[in-house]
Copies of this chain bind each other. A is one copy, B any other.
Amino acid sequence: MPLKNKKIVIPEGFVFSSAKAGIKVSETDDMGLIFCPSGAIASGVFTKNKVKAAPVVDAQRKLRRTGRIYAIVANSGCANACTGIQGMDDLKRITDSVASKLGVSEKQVIMASTGIIGKRLPVRKMLKQIDRLVIELGRASPVDFARAIMTTDRFPKVVSKRVKVAGSYGSILGIAKGAGMIFPNMATMLCFILTDIPIEKDAMKRILLQSVEETFNCITVDNDMSTNDTVLLLSSCRSWGRPVSLKDRTLSAVQDVITEVMDSLARMIVSDAEGASKTIEVILRGAGSVSEAKKAARAVAGSLLVKTAIYGADPNWGRIMAALGGSGIRLEQEKVHIKINGIRIVKNGIATPMLPKAKEKMKNSKHVIIEIELMQDGYTAKALGCDLTEEYVRFNAHYTT
C-alpha cells in the first residue's frame, strides 16, 4: 500500500538530499544522497546473480575492507550493469567526487544504481549534480530520497519505527525500491535500513542475513534475479545504550523490529509489482525440511499457472497440486490440505465442495492467502508473490534495453 501520511521517524545522525540529473527521461529526481557525518557501522547483502553490476562489486569490496560508511549515493534510470571496466571507472568518478566534497575517503562512500542494464552512467550529467546534493543535505525527506530511486515503482516505499531497547529509545528507517524482476535472493531491489541503535558489526551481519531471509528472500514476482540487488543496514550508533552484541539479550528484539520493517517493505514491493492486480501469500506447513518448505512455497507462488488462475479469481487447486508436485519435494498427495483465504478447498488431496465459495471470496480480495499443509514434518515457510496479468506482459514487452 502507498504511504498513508504516517509520520516518518528519522534515526539520529542521517541526512538526505535528492536531485535531477536527467538520467531518466521523466521530470523526476533520479539521484539521492544519504550522509552520516559520524560514519555508520554497515553491513550488506547482495544479489547472488553471477552477473553483478559495478556498484554491487564495488560495495562488496568496500564493505569487506571497512566497517564504517559515510555516504550512499544512489541513482535510478541506469543500473551500471554489464558495463565492464568502464562501469567501474564511471562509478569511481562519482564516488570520488562525493567523497571529496564531503571530506571523507572514497573507500567509505557506497554507490547503488538501478535501471536499465548495459548502458553506461551519464557521468558528466551526474557529476554536475553532486555539489547540489551535498549542499542540500538535510533538505530532503526520506520520501524524496525514495522517489529519486524509483524506476517502475508506482509509489515510494518508506517505513519507520520508534522502539525502546534496553531502556532507551531508538529508531529504524527503511527505504526501498523495487517492483518487477523480484525473486528469492532478491531482484532489482535496493533497500537501505538506517538506525541509530548501536549494534556491533557481527551482530549487525547476523541480524541483516536473518531478516533478509525471512522477508525479501520470500518474494517472487517473475523468477528472475537481478544484477543489482542490494540491502544495506547502517547504524549511526547515536542513540543511547550499550551496542547490541551477539551475546546480548536485546539482539532478538532488535532483529524482530528490523524484520518487521523489512517485511512491510517487501509487501509494498509485491503489491507494486508490474501490472499486478492481487498479491499472493503462500504459507506452507508440515514440510519435511526447511529447504523443502521454502522450495515448495516459492514453487506455488511462482507458478505461472497459479498466478494466472489467481488473476482470474479461480481457486484452481489442481494447478496448486501440480506446482507442489513439480517442486521436487517429498509429499504424499493424499495427505495434502489446502485453504484459500481461510476456506478449505482441498482435503486429503481431493477437492472439497467449497470451491464456489472460495471463488466468491477471491473475487473480492486484493490479497490471496494460500495455506498448504503437507503433513510430512513440522517445517514451515512463506512466499510472497502476485498474480500475472496482461498488463505485466504489455509492460515488460515495451520497457526496453
Contact = CB atoms under 8 A, between A and B. Distances in A.
Interface of A: 48-52, 79, 81-84, 116-118, 180-181, 183, 222-227, 302-305, 308-309, 311-312, 314-319, 321-326, 328-331, 333-334, 348-351, 355, 388-390, 392-394, 396-398, 400-401
28 contacts: A50-B326, A51-B326, A51-B331, A51-B333, A52-B325, A79-B318, A81-B321, A81-B322, A82-B333, A83-B350, A117-B322, A118-B318, A223-B302, A224-B319, A225-B326, A227-B321, A227-B325, A305-B396, A308-B393, A308-B396, A311-B393, A312-B397, A314-B400, A316-B401, A351-B401, A355-B401, A392-B393, A393-B393
A117 B51 contact: no
B303 A223 contact: yes
A183 B183 CA distance: 19
A237 B323 CA distance: 39
A325 B225 contact: yes
Given A82-B333, A322-B51, A181 B312 contact: no
A326 B49 contact: yes
A117 B321 contact: yes
A400 B316 contact: yes
B305 A50 contact: no
Given A324-B50, A390-B394, A222 B305 contact: yes
Contacts of A328: 48, 50
A222 to B, nearest CB: 4
A118 B315 CA distance: 12
A143 B318 CA distance: 29
B82 A321 contact: yes
Given A303-B224, A304-B222, A325-B49, A319 B117 contact: yes
A295 to B, nearest CB: 12
Which one of A322, A330, A350, A392 has the greatest number of beta carbons of chain B within 10 Å? A322
Contacts of A118: 317-318, 321, 350-351
Contacts of A317: 82, 118, 401
A119 to B, nearest CB: 9
Given A82-B318, A304-B224, A325 B51 contact: yes
A308 B397 contact: yes
Contacts of A312: 396-398, 400
A355 B348 CA distance: 53
Contacts of A51: 321-322, 324-326, 331, 333
A377 to B, nearest CB: 16
A371 B289 CA distance: 39
4 closest Cβ pairs, A-B complex: A117-B318, A51-B325, A312-B397, A225-B326
A396 B388 CA distance: 10
Contacts of A79: 318
Contacts of A326: 48-51, 183, 224-225
A329 B81 contact: no
A312 B351 CA distance: 39
Contact of A401 (B180, B225, B315, B323): B315
A181 B321 CA distance: 14
Contact of A322 (B84, B226, B325): B226
Nearest to A388: B393
Which one of A225, A393, A398 has the greatest number of beta carbons of chain B within 10 Å? A393
A113 B243 CA distance: 64
A222 B309 CA distance: 13
B401 A318 contact: yes
Which one of A50, A226, A392 has the greatest number of beta carbons of chain B within 10 Å? A50
Which one of A223, A308, A398, A400 has the greatest number of beta carbons of chain B within 10 Å? A308
